[in-house]
Structure 1
Amino acid sequence: MPDVSVRPATPEDRPAVERLWLMFRHDLSEFRGVLPAADGTFRNDRVGCAFAGPGWAPYLLTLGERPAGLAFVRGLDGPARVLNSFFVARGARRRGIGLRCAREVLVRHPGPWEIAFQHDNPAAVRFWPRVARELAGDAWTREQRPVPGRPELPPDVWISFTVRP
């Protein structure tokens, strides 16, 4: 396994995280039919929340010295943690890096977790239940929930489970 690490993202990491965010949103645009804004960017309000919002934690995933992905956790001050965003760059996929990084992020915050993904995203449909099984065995649930404020979109799939300390 290459030298993979997960660490809290610092303000100095923000430019790299913002560029990774663009790649993440580009990947998701396939499943939501979203185009970039006129300046070529996607909405990035969650980046600001992740770095400054109460109850949030941004993480940078690295492969050696190079940025390979990101994870944003929210709800740290609520009843359940939510993996708000998780992205691994295409060049780092299919080597177990995503599974290892997801596990590292989740175990840093024991307790109830919720993770959403799109049913139309076949990689996510395979990946997130695997993460849930690895961390919670059979003690996890799956349900569909509408996308808030977006009735034209199909519902997201949400999985819920508890990470034990």
Structure 2
Amino acid sequence: MTIHSSAHVRPATPDDRPTVERLWLLFRHDMSEFDGQLPNPDGTFRTERLEAAFSDAADWAPYLFESGGRPAGFAFVRALGAPVHVLNSFFVVRGARRAGVGLRAVRQVVARHPGPWEIAFQDANAGAVRFWRRVAEELAPGAWSEERRPVPGRADLPPDVWISFRYPGP
């Protein structure tokens, strides 16, 4: 199947959970390069955020991305009831990267929850650094900030980079 640059984002339902769980394994595998996490003995990775996204309906929202009718990624938004929304997890399958799917997907997710946003990523993940700075500039031109914050409970890791912006802008 050829990758389409289109991205359709929709709320992930309980019926979508098996698909998102498989995408989660790919996401955690990619992230293990930067956080040093190894799989559990059964080959899975930690799933706290996945569990929260599908069980804490009041404060979390899971989204599934599709391109050409195929799963292309997911996003988990948390802190929906808080003053600042957090894009907690965001993943696009490698075959859909650099085709515009991620940028289209993040625009659709953020537009569903107007207001202040925060997104964390790691300096060591050069692709994420470029992507999230581009996203911030496109969604809030000249009106975004970046700071480094320690990873809670993980003094062994370098600080996360946090981008903050308001969408739509002021």
Task: Quote the Cα distance in structure 2 between the aligned partners of 1:84 and 1:128.
Answer: 13
Alpha-carbon offset, residue 149 of structure 1:
0.6
Q: State which of 34, 40, 57 in structure 2 corresponds to 1:37.
A: 40
Match of 1:109, SS state, is: coil
The percent of aligned pairs where both chains have the same amino acid is 65
Q: State which of 16, 20, 24 in structure 2 corresponds to 1:21.
A: 24
Q: Which runs of 4+ in 1 moved over 3 A?
A: none
Q: State which of 3, 6, 11 in structure 1 corresponds to 2:9.
A: 6
1:105 partner amino acid: V
1:20 partner amino acid: L
Change (3 A) 1:118 1:95: same
Residue 153 (1) aligns with residue 161 (2): no
RMSD of aligned alpha carbons: 1.1
Change (3 A) 1:111 1:36: same
- The equivalent of 2:97 in structure 1 is 93
What's the CA shift string for 1:34-78, capped at 9, x where partnerless?
Answer: 110110000011111101113100000011221110000001000
Task: Quote the Cα distance in structure 2 between the aligned partners of 1:67 and 1:97.
Answer: 11
Q: State which of 27, 50, 54 in structure 2 corresponds to 1:51.
A: 54
1:33 partner amino acid: G
Task: Quote the Cα distance in structure 2 between the aligned partners of 1:93 and 1:136.
Answer: 22
2:124 partner amino acid: D
2:152 partner amino acid: P
1:28 partner amino acid: M
Alpha-carbon offset, residue 4 of structure 1:
2.2
Task: Quote the Cα distance in structure 2 between the aligned partners of 1:33 and 1:56.
Answer: 26
Change (3 A) 1:7 1:149: same
Q: State which of 72, 75, 78 in structure 1 corresponds to 2:79.
A: 75
Q: State which of 115, 133, 137 in structure 1 corresponds to 2:141.
A: 137
What's the CA shift string for 1:94-153, capped at 9, x where partnerless?
Answer: 111111111111111000000000000000110001101101001000000000011111
Structure 1 unaligned runs (5+)? none
Q: State which of 154, 163, 166 in structure 2 corresponds to 1:162.
A: 166
- The equivalent of 2:126 in structure 1 is 122
Structure 2 unaligned runs (5+)? none
Task: Quote the Cα distance in structure 2 between the aligned partners of 1:2 and 1:151.
Answer: 39
Q: TM-score, normalised by structure 2?
A: 0.94
